[in-house]
Amino acid sequence: LTLAVKLPTPLPATFAPNATRFLLAWWSLACLGLTFTGPFTTLGNGHLSTWGALFASVAAALPYSGHLARAVDRFVRLAKGDFGLLLLLCIGSAVVALQAFCSYVHSRSGVDAWALAVGLVSAAGCGGLLSQPGLAAQQARIVSLATAGWWTQGLVITFLPHDFTRTVNGFLAVWTCILLSLVLLNSTAGD
């Protein structure tokens, strides 16, 4: 018996751009929902796969989205030097705040509220400095001392066993902010 296989007609030209936009939106929402609130808050295949799918969807959408390609290009250009460290610290602080908020809603723990405050204050401070790059450059040593001092609280937070510190996003974001603040401090050591 011979089975006849009918090959599909070519897909419309708009299929790939629309499909990649859909996947980017889908995996962005999935990361927010699945890795910040559950069920993939701890390290495992689900957590890594969800974040991997988000990064893969960004890579797939780049050739079809001029806005996304320009945003990624601008981010890469800005993420250099002390300004870049401050930008990454701002993003890390926002992740800390978001995960702490999600944890706080679930547990109503004082540690989660503390982590939320640390993340919000840091994100707001970094955001304010990023909007005034001249001020940040003028006061680079003071800014680096302040961020390193501020994120020493993060070190304490990571040793307290609560919902926030049990999540991969929260734990890694706090350690990322601690390390970025120390790198920023080191980069201004000669100033």
pLDDT tens, 57-96?
999 999 999 999 999 898 888 878 788 888 899 999 999 9
Q: What is the pLDDT of residue 1?
A: 44
State CA 105 to chain mean position distance. Answer: 20
pTM above 0.75, yes or no: yes
Classify 68 as helix, strand or coil.
helix
- How far apart are alpha carbons 189 and 22 in whole angstroms? 46
Distances (CA, A) of 140 to 108, 119, 150, 171: 36, 20, 15, 27
Residues of the chain below pLDDT 70: 1-9, 191
Contact yes or no for 122/147 (Cβ under 8 A): yes
Is 54 exposed, middle or buried (CB count within 10 Å of its CB: 0-12, 13-18, 19+)? buried
pLDDT value for 155: 83
